[in-house]
Amino acid sequence: MFYYLNKALKLNKLDALFIDSPQNIFYLTGYKGFSAEEKDAKILITKKRNYLFTDKRYLGELTNLKNFELTEISLFKEILQKNKIKNAGFEESSITFSEYKYFKKIFTNFKPLENPIEKLREIKNQEEIKKIRKACRLSDLGFSFILKQIKENVTENELAAKLEIFLKENHADISFKPIVAFGKNSAVPHHLNSNIKLKKGNIVLIDIGAKIDGYCSDMTRTVFFGSPTLKFKRMYQTVLSAQKVAVEVINKSRLKIKASDVDKAAREYIIQQGYETIPHSLGHGIGIDVHEKPNLSPNSKSILKNGMIFSIEPGIYLNGYGGVRIEDLYLLTNKKLEKITHSTSKIISL
């Protein structure tokens, strides 16, 4: 990792890489205690040494850092002078304009870079894969658990709260607030849970993610409360087949697998069946962030590679009626997909 970053320094003729995204700081240091809102740490990767700058409040906590010299933030300029660091690259998608204004004055040359660390994060190592598998296992258990809580008049908010409590009781965090959508709410891909009550004949869409040791899972299932209508069954089978189409595109590919081609195959399948196109990307990478690279979308430039973990989540949404989304996570190894979420994809009626 540091070898690659040093190469990036040489390539860009930089003395240092300036990292301030909390997720990337966690990725590089393993410490997840910094606040995402307050950006209370900065990293400087130089050719010789790596520094983690933060304030007094954290110094007592971070005594066992590998690969980094822990330094109080007030010494930032001093360290630059001592090491003759004048040209630095920064993360253009993380730094705010006001931080940019401040640090631009400190360096002779302060150069925007496009996701220098996110590119590394796309490919997961064995330890990361293990953590994501654990998070997937827990969302599977969470799904089984919540199925038992689905009954008439329960509200979306109640089910979502129960899911959160279940994850917490199992020593995990949420990777995002669970989405529980009943009936026509399931046609809104980013529905905000409400106090609407479940009625017979409602679709129930559940999108859940656990976070374990800083790594996320993400899975969606759509079930039917009552006896599934033909309309629902047809939507469901179409979505499920679209997912299979996407998986096959990858498994049968012998050349470079373009993420946009995978998106296209599933999208076109759904349109061929007479539905509207998917109003979101087909899938996304996952890891420290619940949405990260690669992107499986029409305009994606990503090439899918071994070691990547991403979702495939086609959906059909009929405004005013309801929606179906089926989302699983897959690990790409030896050019084949391994599904790492294991909840059944058969139609469930309750």
User: What tokens were used for 96?
Assistant: 């705010």
Q: Which residue has the tokens 């953590």?
A: 131
CB of 52 to its own copies, least distance (A): 14
Return the residues of window 202-261 that contact its own copies according to CB under 8 A.
none
- Start-to-end CA distance of the chain, whole Å, equals 49
**Cα–Cα dist 184/101, whole Å:** 47
149 near its own copies (CB under 8 A): no
Q: Which of residues 96, 125, 229, 344 is near its own copies by CB under 8 A?
A: 96
Q: Which of residues 24, 29, 46, 94 is near its own copies by CB under 8 A?
A: 94
CB of 117 to its own copies, least distance (A): 14
Per-residue binding string, its own copies, 166-205, x by CB under 8 A, is --xx-x----x----------xxxxxx-------------
| 3 state DSSP class of 14 | coil
CB of 279 to its own copies, least distance (A): 4
Residue of 307, 244, 317, 310 whose CA lies nearest to 283 = 310
Q: Are 92 and 264 in contact, with CB atoms under 8 Å apart?
A: no
76 near its own copies (CB under 8 A): no
60 near its own copies (CB under 8 A): yes
Containing H/E element for 98? helix 97-106
Q: Which of residues 64, 98, 227, 334 is near its own copies by CB under 8 A?
A: 98
Per-residue binding string, its own copies, 18-57, x by CB under 8 A, is -------------xxx-x-xx-----------------xx
157 near its own copies (CB under 8 A): yes
For helices 156-169 and 126-149, angle between their N-to-C axes, nearest 10 degrees? 140
97 near its own copies (CB under 8 A): yes
Segment interacting with its own copies (CB under 8 A) among 6-14, 158-166, 199-207, 251-259: 158-166
Task: Decide: residue 246, CB within 10 A, 0-12 exposed, 13-18 middle, 19+ buried.
Answer: buried
Per-residue binding string, its own copies, 265-304, x by CB under 8 A, is --------------xx--------xxx-------------
Residue of 213, 166, 200, 203 whose CA lies nearest to 182 = 203
131 near its own copies (CB under 8 A): no
**Cα–Cα dist 56/35, whole Å:** 14
Exposure pattern of 160-198 as b/e (b: 16+ CB <10 Å)?
bebbbebbeeeebebbeebbbbbbbbbbbbebebeebeb
Q: Which of residues 45, 95, 146, 337 is near its own copies by CB under 8 A?
A: 95
CB of 169 to its own copies, least distance (A): 7
**CB atoms < 10 A from the CB of 253, how many?**
15
Return the residues of window 310-339 that contact its own copies according to CB under 8 A.
319
Residues at the contact surface with its own copies, assessed by CB under 8 A: 31-33, 35, 37-38, 56-58, 60-61, 90, 92-98, 100-101, 112, 114, 157, 161, 164-165, 168-169, 171, 176, 187-192, 279-280, 289-291, 319
